[in-house]
Structure 1
Amino acid sequence: MTTTAKTPTQVILKDSLISLLLYVLPISLMFLWFYISGSRPWETIRTEHLSFRAPALLEAVFNNLKTWGLPAIMLVVGIVEFSVGLYENRWTKNERILDIVCFILPKIVLRPLIAYFGLQLLPLVLPNAKDAFVWVPFWWAFAIMAVADDLTQYWYHRLHHQLPLLWRFHRTHHSAPYMGMAMASRQNIIYTMFFSQIYLTVALTYLGLGYAALFVGGIKSLITTAAHSSIKWDKPFYTIRWLNPVAWVMERVISTPATHHAHHADTTDDGIGNYKGNFGNMFFIWDLIFGTGIITRQYPAAYGLKHYKEEEWYAQLLWPIFKSKKAGSELAKNGPEVGDELPVEAPVAPPYAFWEKEENRTPVAVK
């Protein structure tokens, strides 16, 4: 008996319904816990505080991630990357300016502006909602925030690969022929403007879940930075036998260099690259649930886009406000709509698409 293959639209609809259940899951579990334990925290007036005491240094880093914490961490990682030559000679002047501007601009201009206007607007739109959920225990707030934030960004990321209309706003993130911690923030400014994390953090802070938003944002920043880094810190977990069980769990829960580097590969032909999948940002588990991920514990030989024309940094940052002068570029005026795969002259077998089952690909061993 044969089954009719589902269309991309049908797959997206099915996965969207599953996502709705995932969004509701931590909230449902929280109220189930309240029912079982007989607790009614919403009846208690309380101020937002941590339910535990973190080490002083750790707490200081987390409390200041949006100012000096994360930049300090990235500076240390960057020094290590450069000291061992992991960028080689591919970090040209154009790439360097783009990476630096993409790292600085959102932090000193975009996010502060969104936070300021958001906190001015929310009291007008929801005047009675300030601190409405301050009663939610920290760890439940953390779980709710983590799912809401990262699952939303998974879909935001995935749709920018699957819809040609959106691809050019995300193309900047994939154009570099190298991997490094700077890649975590290398994005077109319009793509960055609609990051769910910025708006969720502002809204949930207003609603009384600021500490949970702070910790989720901090942990997510650390994981995504580490996953983009050219330092293959996850490799010992695969090569040291007694660490293998930890690796098995880790690579299925969070993004690692092996799984996320695959997303930045310039080809899928080697069975390692998977730029049509491995969309997870903080959590890789979304890719497992929706069938968009592969795990190989290997790293691509090359990164970026095969049709990259090294467009001017300002065009990559501000397209379509500023266009590239490079002939034939997607970012040029009236440029072709290339998409996230290399155009070919002669007919070839169709590339692996996100809706194909993994068994239809060349088998790759998952150790």
Structure 2
Amino acid sequence: MEPAQIIMLGIIAAGYLTAISAELIAGRIQHSQRPRRDMLFNLAAILTQPILTSVVVASAGAWLARSLFPTGADRLIELPFWPGFLAIFLLNEFCHYWVHRAAHEWRWMWKLHRTHHSGMDMNASLIYRYNLFWPMIVPQTWVGAIVMYFGLYQEFLAAAAITYLVNVGTHLSFRWDLQLRQRFPATEPAWRIIEKIITLPDTHQAHHAWGSKQAHPNGNYAVTLFFYDVLFGTAKWPRARQENFGLPISPRLHWAEELLWPIVRKPLLAKQILPEGGTPKPAAPNATAN
């Protein structure tokens, strides 16, 4: 592995560790509604992701690339950095938008994606709260395996690092975007432009919210480049704090199905289980169902 690649991987790790440390110091994670359940999902994801993505998906992607382009190995290694980086970044974000949108529109994909949305609090740990099979359909690993086969290692890692850090930033419980807008009102015209291009906590947390006019669970799909939502008509800008996160059925979901669907299938629990240390929130008719 080259020094530049090690540096980019270090930036990714440092970004997450900084964010999760800030959340822990502020008590945002341990004082959340279901900290033990969320920690279980996080540990399961962190322990299994290297196998599912680095081995299974990456190997399958590399095999697919070799099969389709048998003479393409390292063919683009001499390509200048910026054209390769921009092409990968735009392609990956475009693919993610449509896979993410399909996960909200197609029932079988929603079952895989639902675990990420059943978390009842926003914080950095939410990015690792997902069904264990979800990483197998996320476009980034497939795109990465193919473009690295062509020799675009640094370009892909740079694109992946930006996507990852933005993803961490939009899941934080600290609403840094609103704080900056309120503290420096003269910058509002610039924010009105930025929010149409880049995904901010305001738009992504609306995607995780339900039960209020600020919620937009079936839209705001872009992970980094929000202009795809603008382009395809799924954008909404609340410009306010969201109230309820998760799903109305979150307390009734069985942990095993959330982690292992479709291998494990469980009916909704008959009675609503209270969040750890909290009280259940009322259901809302406009939230994504089961």
Task: Name the CA distance, whole Å, in 1 between partners of 2:21 and 2:121.
Answer: 16
Please tell me the residue identity of whatever aligns with 2:217: Y
Structure-to-structure mapping, 1:23-42, within 5 angstroms: none
**Structure 2 contact 113–130 (Cα < 8 Å) conserved:** yes
The aligned amino acid for 2:41 is: L
Aligned match of 1:195 in 108, 127, 138? 138
Report the count of equivalent residues: 273
Q: Which consecutive residues of structure 1, in runs of 5 or more, have no partner in the other structure?
A: 1-48, 50-55, 330-341, 345-350, 354-367
Farther off after superposition, 298-307 or 126-135? 126-135
Deviation larger for 209-218 or 311-320 = 311-320
Q: 1:253 aligns with which of 189, 194, 197?
A: 197
* Aligned pair partner of 1:109 in 51, 59, 63: 51
2:117 counterpart residue number? 174
Could you state the TM-score of these two structures normalised by the residue count of structure 2?
0.85
Identical aligned residues as a percent = 25
For the pair shown, which has the larger CA radius of gyration, 1 or 2? 1
2: CA distance, partners of 1:99 / 1:264: 18
Instruction: Check 1:216–1:326 CA distance in 2 against 1; reply closer, same or farther (3 A cut).
Output: same
1:242 partner letter = A
Q: Distance in 2 between matches of 1:170 and 1:324?
A: 16
Larger RCO, structures 1/2 (Cα 8 Å, 6+ apart): 2
Change (3 A) 1:130 1:179: same
* Per-residue deviation, 1:148: 0.8
1:146 pairs, out of 61, 72, 89, with: 89
Q: Output the amino acid matched with 1:204.
A: V
Letter in 1 for 2:109: L
Distance 1:126 1:193, change over 3 A: same
Q: Kindly state the Cα deviation for residue 117 of structure 1 after the two structures are TM-superposed.
A: 4.8
Moved more, 90-99 or 251-260: 90-99
Q: Distance in 2 between matches of 1:89 and 1:206?
A: 42
Q: Could you list the per-position Cα deviations for residues 324-367 of structure 1 after superposition, in whole angstroms to 9, with x for gaps in the alignment?
A: 365359xxxxxxxxxxxx687xxxxxx599xxxxxxxxxxxxxx
Contact 1:176 1:303 (8 Å CA) reproduced? yes
For structure 2, the residue ranges without an aligned partner over 5 or more in a row are 272-282
- Please report how far the alpha carbon of residue 121 of structure 1 lies from its aligned counterpart in structure 2 after TM superposition: 5.7
Contact 2:85 2:155 in 1 (8 A): yes
Name the CA distance, whole Å, in 2 between partners of 1:221 and 1:248.
23
Equivalent residue, structure 2, for 1:313: 255
The equivalent position to 2:187 in structure 1, one of 219, 240, 243, is 243
In structure 2, what is the Cα distance between the partners aligned to 1:319 and 1:71? 29
Deviations 1:115-168 (A, max 9, x none): 245445643542211122234321111111111101111010111111223211
Tell me the distance in 2 between the aligned counterparts of 1:191 and 1:112.
14
- TM-score normalized by the length of structure 1: 0.68
**Counterpart in 2 of 1:333?**
none
CA distance in 2 between partners of 1:225 and 1:352 (Å):
23
Q: Does 1:215 align with 2:158?
A: yes
Partner deviation per Cα, 1:35-76 (whole Å, 9 max, x = no partner)? xxxxxxxxxxxxxx9xxxxxx9x97541x25xxx43332122
Q: Distance in 2 between matches of 1:289 and 1:120?
A: 34
